[in-house]
Every structure is written in C-alpha cells, then in structure tokens.
Amino acid sequence: MKTYDMAELAVRNLRESILRNSLTTVGISVGVASLVAMLSLGIGLQQLAGRRLQKSGLFDTVVVTSRRDLRGFNREQEENGPAPAESPALNEDARQKIAQLPNVLEAYPDIRFITELHYADKPYLTMMAGLPFSAKNNDAFDGMQGNFFSSDTAPEVILQKSFAGQLLGKTPKAGSEEASVTDLAKPLLGKQLTMRYAERTATPSTSQAEASNSAGTAYSVISREVTLKIVGVCDLDPDSMRGQARARVFLPLKLAQNLHVMQPSDLRDSTNMAGGTPAFTTVEVHVKSPTQVQTVEDAIKKMGFNTFSIVDATRSLRQFFAVLDLFLGIFGSLALAVASIGIINTLVMAILERRREIGIMKAIGASDGDVKGLFFAEAGVMGVFGGIVGVALGWTIGRVINLGTNVYLKRQHFPPEQIWFVPWWLVLGAIGFAIVVSLLSGLYPASRAARLDPVQALRYE
Amino acid sequence: MPGESNLNGSMAIRTESLCRYYAMGEALIRAVDGISVQIASGEFVALLGTSGSGKSSLLNLIAGLDRPTSGTVVVQKSDLAKFSREELAKYRLHTVGMVFQSFNLIPSMTLLENVELPLRFAEVERGKREGLAKQALERVGLSARLRHRPTELSGGEQQRASLARALINQPQFLLADEPTGNLDSQTGTEIMNFIREFNETLGMTIIMVTHERALAERYASRMIFLADGKLIGDQSNAVAATGGPSRGGGL
C-alpha cells in the first residue's frame, strides 16, 4: 500500500474511535509539553546566565601588563620571556597594536589615580578611574540612577554608592539597612565636584647632557583643578573582582587620558630612566567571546607582554547546563514514557477490537507489511498531533511560568528577565521526538497485528 | 470418476495428499486429511459436506489463507506451500477473490471504500480507483448505495457488495464460503445467479463451499463430497453445466 493511502486510512481509523484516540493523543501532548517546558526553562536559564556573564565582562577580558613593570601574575612568564629591561613598553603604540589583533573588540588603558575631590567645600581623598564608553552595557550599571556619560570626553562623573553616602555624610551604620541608590542620587545628580590633580606635562630638555641620557623623559608636574558634574550614582560593589570597581568615582576614559593626570607608574619610570613616552600600568583588552580569550592572550604574549585572564568560566557553565538540561529532559521524558505506554495500550486494544477487520484485510490481499504499516501509521499520526499540540502546550506553560516569575521579580523591584526560551530546534525536535516515541510504541502492536492468523481472525466475532 | 471433468483441458488447481491438522489441547484435529483433487480452469465446483467435514479448511488452503501441514496445493503450476507470506498476500490479492457467509465488509467504511480497498493494496492509482469500484458496484446493481455503510444495507446487498469487492482485481478464481448461508432463498438465488454469471461470462473458476446439496446441484458443474477431512465423492453435474433453469435437486 502506498504511504499516502496508509496515512489516509490511519486517520480515518483513528476517527472511528475518536474519544479513545484523542485521549491517547492528549497523553502524548502532555508528555511533549512537559519536555518542552522543562527544556525551554533550562535553555532560558542558560542564556540568562550566559548574558549575565557576558555583561559582567569578567570572562572576555584580558589584562595586559608590561614586563618592565610589576612582576607578572605568575612567575613562569618572567623566566621564559625576554628580560624585563628589553621587553617593549606598554604605551599608546602597543595599545593600538593590541587593538588591531583579530577578535579584539577594544583595548583601553587602565587609568586610575588617587586624588582630592571637593564637594560643598569639603575635601575627600579617593581613588578615581577612567571608564571606557563601552562600559555602558556593563551589568554593573543596571541599577544605576541618573545617566551614563554623555560622551567620552564630557566633564562628568559617576559616583559609587558608598562614596555618594560619604559626600552626604550618610555612613551606613552596622546592622542598619543601607540607603538605597535612589535616595542617595536625588540630592547629588547635577551637582558639581571640583577635582584637584597633578598634571604631567612634557618639558623641553634643558641641557645637552640630559638630552643624550634620556631623550624626552623630562616633564614637570603642575597642580590643576577641574570641575565635574555628577551624572550618575551606581550600585557597584567596591570589593568586587572588577578592576574599575575598586575605584569609587568614575570619569570618562578619554577625559582622564586628556587630563594627563600623574600616574603612580610615572614616578617609577622616571626613577628607572626608562621609556620616552608615558606608559600604562595595565591595558584591558575586550575579546569578542570568551572562547577566543586564549588565542588573543597568546598573541599578546608573543608581543612581549604579560597577560592575565580569568579561565573561561562559560565552558564549565555550559557543562553545568548540559547536565541540568539532561535532567530536566529526563523528567520531561518520563511523562512521554507514560504516554507511550498509553499508545501501546490503545493500539493493542485496537487490534483486539479490529481483529476481524485485520482478518478481512488479509483475506482480500493485504500483506503483513500493509497491516503493519497501517497500525504504524496510526501511531505516527497520533505522534504528529500529540507533538504539535504538546509543543503549543509546553510553549504556553513556559510563557506562563515566565510571566509569573516576572510578576514576582517586579514585586521584588528587580528588572524583568527572560528565563524561558523555545528555540526552533526544540520545537522541531520535540515534534520529531513525539513521532519517534509514538512509532516505537507502535512497533510491537503493529507487528502483532501483522502476525495475526487470518483464518483465526476471521472466525473472531 | 474423480478428475474426469476437464472442461477446458487446462489444470488450474491441483492438491496432492493435502493435510491440515490442528492441535486442540491434547487432541489432533485432522481438518483436511490427505485430499488429492484437480480442478480445471472454468469449472464451477461445489464442496459439499456436513459442518466439520473440512470443506472450509480446504477452501482456506486453496485461498492461501492457511498453510498445509503436509502435501501440496499447486495453483497455476506454483506451489502455495512454498510461497512466502508476502507472495501469499499477492496471490490472495490478484489471483483469488473471496466471498464469505458473513459478508465480511468493514463496517466503518462505505461500500465504495470497501470495494476500493483491494485496489489500495494493489497500489492502483488514486484517480482510477473510484471509477473501477463504481463500475464493480454497478455490475451488482448497487449504484445507488455507494455512500452507504454495510450496516445500513440488507444481507443481500451486503453480499453483492462483497462480490463486487471480490471481483475488483479481476481474479481467475472466486472462492465462496457458504455465500447464501445468511440469506433467505430468494436473495440467495440472486447471489447465486451473479456467481453463475461470473462463471459463464467472465470464465472465472468457482469453488463454492456449501452444505446444501440442492443449491450445488442447481448451479455447480461438479460436486466434491467431504467427510472427516477426507474426499468421499466427486461427481460432475450435467444439469447445471447447461446453465439453463434449475430442475430441482436429485434428493
């Protein structure tokens, strides 16, 4: 019998006992739905964690230091590479070269300095850091009040929460609840700060002897002042692993560079009598994806710098979620396994009921294959319908869970999150899986029907 | 007397020491016990005997629905015992058509679908199937009943539909198992006239199981008598061979 005819007959046979077959199909749907709901939540959570990690900037960042400076983060590098004195300086040229490496999104110097800020005529000594414009998307600024810098050179600052508290004279007492960012931001946003700092300016060399010894190393330090506007207060944790976070006031990176603030390393450079142009202590390199960190790191090492990165945690994250998905999938499949027993039961019952019909079909020329195919097709059709309905049902369940979670998050004053995601492969895979499970369930009943002895089947009333 | 009736000369069906035993618990039922018979193409053979004489079992063996315990059934020079299950199905589909006492139409299908079913198994093109099925139903006078389900019809109509189904793949043999057993005498005659017509105009070889000697004498050209699975008599019937109106049974 042709496949089309078989499917047609199967559908009409299923329609004959519509209630029973619908119930069986509902069973498959519930199984598929639980599978889809479980897996879509697993995938959604994985994506959420992935997005969070990506935003944290922890795993796609390589920190570059010069070998001339501090010792590397591990000793091996030092022993293997060129001697510190011969290694290249980590200056603007080097930064540009690094920025042009493949898979590198950006490379920016880490500029930080301790300086004095005046607010309401009171001085505050604090650590300031330059922040690249790309940091706008960093999750550390999720709970920020106010705005990010209007441009990369705007005379603006973003305060860290605890520093804002300090400015307002609100130092949190032990045990008491911390003031919220919103409360701290209100009186401060738009206010002005005065920053006093030491500017490093290159001065032409005064004597011949000096010039031959160290060309262009001479510079003077001038005390300057600049007025900055407070545009934001953020909730960053000052003890976080992140470099910038250890500072308590942030200003645009370009602005910080242009101010030529005296860096702690400048002093050492001058005592070492090394390098003509100002060098950076560290350069942070953003890589396109955590998986490419290793290759970028290797390339930078070849240039003669020390590098440091946090081991790609997304790999272990993926591994964790693979296991989680597996377990969710197994639980989801349990319902499908129960449903498959339903299919077997329905079809075995159908064989008993349609014993005579099978006998008739055989008597008028149906082959074993025809009978087998017919029952198989019935199982398959139930699988197709069950799969489609199940995916729709699972999709709805996932949506409802997501909605519920977001209502809860909103009550807890958290931003909404997408914790549920149904990719196309899951839709097609779930329908396919339902069909495969149904066909496997149909295997036994179908071959049992095919083996039926026509003489006995015809005698059956 | 056996084997005398070679009407067309060509041997269509031949059985040799054909046996079919069933195990019924401890007991062995010898349903068919060493039957050797030859049936020529174009014959109208009646298998006669009391119930349990083995006539239906013999018919099932010839129909390829059952396999012999021993012996052979040779149909058009090929031994059914050597056929695979697949080949037997093909044989049932194309070479024989069957009619049963209880009609055996599939209740969930309309008459048209019932008659069309063997065409599906034979993988006849979709477009041709309906026309062929309609033609076959027309032949047995059921044009007005195409969309009816079997339960909506009288016994005679159901049996006519099953005749149409038996004919649809143009088989050489029509095997009928008590075709009038569930019908009153008038409808029975109607059915028998159709069967005779198929024998005479289409040249089909008919093998009909019956326990009514009168019916056999009226229509069959040859009568084979069975008892306890053994052949006890084989005679040609000159009366029916003429195809003229019946003069009644000899009993």
- The pLDDT tens digits for B171-188 are 999 999 999 999 999 999
Chain A contact probe: residue of B29, B57, B86, B92 with most A CBs at under 10 A: B92
Quick one: pLDDT band at residue A324, thresholds 50, 70, 90?
confident
Helix (H, G, I), strand (E, B) or coil at B77: coil
Token couple for A236:
């960053």
Task: Find which of A273-287, A412-426, B106-120 is predicted with most confidence, using mean pLDDT.
Answer: B106-120
- Tens of pLDDT, residue by residue over A366-396, are 999 999 999 889 989 999 999 999 999 999 9
Q: How does DSSP assign A440-459, residue by residue? A: HHHHHHHHHHHH--HHHHHH
Cβ–Cβ under 8 Å, residues B53 and B228:
yes
Q: Please, what are the domains in chain B? A: 41-65+83-240 (3.40.50.300)
The whole-number pLDDT of residue B90 equals 94
Say whether pLDDT at B5 is over 60: no
Token couple for A68:
């001339």
Quick one: pLDDT band at residue A412, thresholds 50, 70, 90?
confident
User: In this structure, which amino acid lies at residue A288?
Assistant: K
Q: What is the C-alpha to C-alpha distance for residues B155 and B186, in angstroms, rounded to an integer?
A: 12
Q: Where are the alpha helices (DSSP H) in A288-354?
A: 293-302, 313-353
Say whether pLDDT at A182 is over 90: no
Quick one: pLDDT band at residue A341, thresholds 50, 70, 90?
confident
Choose the weakest-confidence range: A289-293, B39-43, B54-58, B155-159: A289-293
Taking CB atoms and an 8 Å limit, are A364 and B165 in contact across chains?
A: yes
* Separation in Å, CA of B247 to nearest CA in chain A: 35
Point out which residues pair with A108 in neighbouring strands: A284
Taking CB atoms and an 8 Å limit, are A365 and B122 in contact across chains?
A: yes
Taking CB atoms and an 8 Å limit, are B65 and A2 in contact across chains?
A: no
Supply φ then ψ for residue A442, to 5 degrees.
-75, -15
The whole-number pLDDT of residue A172 equals 62
Asked if B124 is an interface residue toward chain A (Cβ–Cβ < 8 A), one would say no
Nearest to A206 by CA among A195, A217, A222: A217
Across the interface, of A1, A16, A454, the residue whose CB is closest to B121 is A1
Say whether pLDDT at A450 is over 80: yes
Q: What is the C-alpha to C-alpha distance for residues A457 and A353, in angstroms, rounded to an integer?
A: 11
Cβ–Cβ under 8 Å, residues B191 and B176:
no
Taking CB atoms and an 8 Å limit, are B108 and A368 in contact across chains?
A: no
The whole-number pLDDT of residue B118 equals 95
Nearest to A131 by CA among A110, A105, A146: A110
Choose the weakest-confidence range: A36-40, A353-357, A397-401, B4-8: B4-8
The pLDDT of A423-435, averaged and rounded, is 90
Say whether pLDDT at A175 is over 60: no
Say whether pLDDT at A342 is over 80: yes
The whole-number pLDDT of residue A167 equals 85
Asked if B108 is an interface residue toward chain A (Cβ–Cβ < 8 A), one would say yes
Supply φ then ψ for residue A290, to 5 degrees.
-55, -25
DSSP β-ladder status, A219-234 and A192-202: antiparallel
Q: A-chain residues within 8 Å CB-CB of B169?
A: 365
Q: B-chain residues within 8 Å CB-CB of A1?
A: 120-121, 123
Across the interface, of A4, A357, A367, the residue whose CB is closest to B86 is A367
Taking CB atoms and an 8 Å limit, are B94 and A365 in contact across chains?
A: yes
Instruction: Quote the longest CA-to-CA distance of chain A.
Output: 122
Nearest to A74 by CA among A337, A301, A286: A301
Say whether pLDDT at A241 is over 60: no
- Chain B: residue nearest A360 by CA? B104
Per the model's pLDDT, the better-predicted residue between A284 and B172 turns out to be: B172
The whole-number pLDDT of residue B250 equals 40
pTM score:
0.68
Q: What angle do CA A433, A438, A442 make, to 5 degrees?
A: 150
- Tens of pLDDT, residue by residue over A201-221, are 766 545 444 444 444 456 777
Cβ–Cβ under 8 Å, residues B25 and B48:
no
The pLDDT of A443-453, averaged and rounded, is 90
Q: What is the Cα gyration radius of chain A?
A: 35
The whole-number pLDDT of residue A262 equals 73
The pLDDT of A92-96, averaged and rounded, is 84
The whole-number pLDDT of residue A218 equals 66
Token couple for B196:
């005779």
Cβ–Cβ under 8 Å, residues A191 and A159:
no
Nearest to B168 by CA among B237, B119, B235: B119
User: In this structure, which amino acid lies at residue A428?
Assistant: L
Cβ–Cβ under 8 Å, residues B207 and B8:
no
Choose the weakest-confidence range: A243-252, A334-343, B236-245: B236-245
The whole-number pLDDT of residue A217 equals 56
The whole-number pLDDT of residue A68 equals 67
Q: How does DSSP assign A352-403, residue by residue? A: HHTHHHHHHHHHTT--HHHHHHHHHHHHHHHHHHHHHHHHHHHHHHHHHHHH
Say whether pLDDT at A451 is over 60: yes
% of chain A beyond a pLDDT of 90: 9
Q: What is the Cα gyration radius of chain B?
A: 18
Asked if B92 is an interface residue toward chain A (Cβ–Cβ < 8 A), one would say yes
Say whether pLDDT at B157 is over 80: yes
Query: Alpha-carbon torsion A171, A175, A178, A179, what sign?
Result: negative
The whole-number pLDDT of residue A214 equals 45
Q: Other C-beta atoms within 10 Å of A398: how many?
A: 23
Quick one: pLDDT band at residue A113, thresholds 50, 70, 90?
confident
The pLDDT of A310-316, averaged and rounded, is 68
Q: How does DSSP assign A76-138, residue by residue? A: HHHHHSS-TTTSPP-SHHHHHHHHTSTTEEEEEE--EEEEEEEETTEEEEEEEEEE-GGGGG-
The pLDDT of A394-404, averaged and rounded, is 89
Nearest to B93 by CA among B133, B71, B58, B64: B64
Q: At what angle do helices A313-353 and A424-451 cross, to 10 degrees?
A: 30
- Tens of pLDDT, residue by residue over B77-115, are 889 988 999 999 999 999 999 999 999 999 999 999 999
- Tens of pLDDT, residue by residue over A78-90, are 455 555 656 777 8
* Separation in Å, CA of B89 to nearest CA in chain A: 5
- Tens of pLDDT, residue by residue over B205-239, are 999 999 999 999 999 999 999 999 999 999 988 75
